[in-house]
Chain A
């Protein structure tokens, strides 16, 4: 077959005496280890039009769900043929009210009397975005290095344990105490992630399974620590909850006590910059990307793939841990319980995918999803729509983004490049057959 023979190179190349030889991207089909990067390249390669289309489609699907489950719409549907207008207006008000509440809760509260109150939802959104930025960055680093770290939950829990324990048990002056708690939390989270890295490097165990198992183990570990007097449980209480953080360990509010937004958001922004530098400008990041794109070539180039895998997990875990740290030291400082991760670990997957594993993209995606969360909470309170609608919309966005041809077909967007037919698509792929 044509695997080594007759493989045309990509035509974009300037005309040369070379007949087509060993061609492009053979590893995408020949080498399973590299399939991650293929997928991410597909995602990264999609146009922004697809992203916008995917978000619109997902919101549309969400509207259908809201409308279909709305009491008034169903009531009106019962006499649809008698008075169709009733149903249409019920549909309009169900979807309209829902998205109005979403907007009110996430961007600008148009019912507020003052600017200070009106802007508050935006601050709430950014507050929700803070942990998503950290965990999304952690996932993105893993993706770029070919690792699917689904262990966000466990890493956040371990970070909360580390930071929380320092935060409520020690007596230290303000910046020192807070910094120590942050560092310890990031270290415990990173070490927890490193377990999966070591297992992958030493035994080849797939990180998707090991990180998920570590999530459950972390959960029960935290449960045990919270349920056992003398460990994390607040003294004199039988509830599985920690004592509140010392004020010397708490992250200060950025815009004063009127707004929830705290120092964690600044830390998250710093993490965005640091991650960009790490991946694009540092030696370590170079090895991460090389291992992610082609572990075999990396190995031939003298990069220790196993050790790199462990480092990837450590960095990824530390970034995810930042999310856990900001939760317990910034967002809810009155002590935490087993739900400290608040599903952030899984949301981070969608954030990293929507952000195309690019630090700035992750920042944007995290703010968007933070807004969804903030608005979803308002929607739940005002319209009684379960907040899980946000999860549905988020996962639909990622699904649609992952399959650009689907979105293009629905919106009749042009294909990138001029090739009109599927068969004339990517020549590298074609010849791989």
Chain B
């Protein structure tokens, strides 16, 4: 009885081990959907999981969402201990607190793909996929400078005080400062519609003449537009947002004059990272390295390529 049980257990363990060896588990750790852009990240991650698991039956994706850096570090431990992941695709909440947890996953032989926010120490990740915040600021600045002919008055609504926001803002200001365009003021609107509305109301009170608004983000831009409509000043200026929210891209496609363009910062980059990571386990093509996605200027001509009506963002 006792002996046969032991044999049974040994066989079961062996069978289980073989099954594990045949399946490659890829952990995906992303921030919870707390605002529009992260909502897009969640949607694209789910899309990529469905597609990749159907295409490659030996791959399994486990998606975890976290509400804070500490929670994300806990998720990492669970992914390693419980799910026994072979690879990790992570969009770190913040760079500093997650560098060591990711490094320790790396030490245990996990293949690491980092998305969007780089880690604080070089050489940990095998693959890096990111948008380009500097180029996003530059593309926005170039459009506004060209459209205004190098002179005029603008206001800037910033995001949440973070490295991402600083990179965009600094790159934007570096191009705008040498021109005759005057930046009347910049204030934080926290990538939030309500804050965008209130900050813009106050800018409109304060400045009788504004030629353009750099809202940097599509959620902020939507708040800005309502404030402009309320003040009846929607015909005297234009607004440049960013990210690629479907409502804004639809507007660009339809030739909206208030928001004539959008600057892409695609939440779909999480799907790019998952696809690249999957290739590592299903093919021999070389994939190691850094993938920096363009921050494209979306105009009425190319908007259709970036319009995803099913995405929540």
Q: Do the two chains bind?
A: no
Measuring CB to CB, which residues of chain B are less than 8 angstroms from any residue of chain A?
none
Measuring CB to CB, which residues of chain A are less than 8 angstroms from any residue of chain B?
none
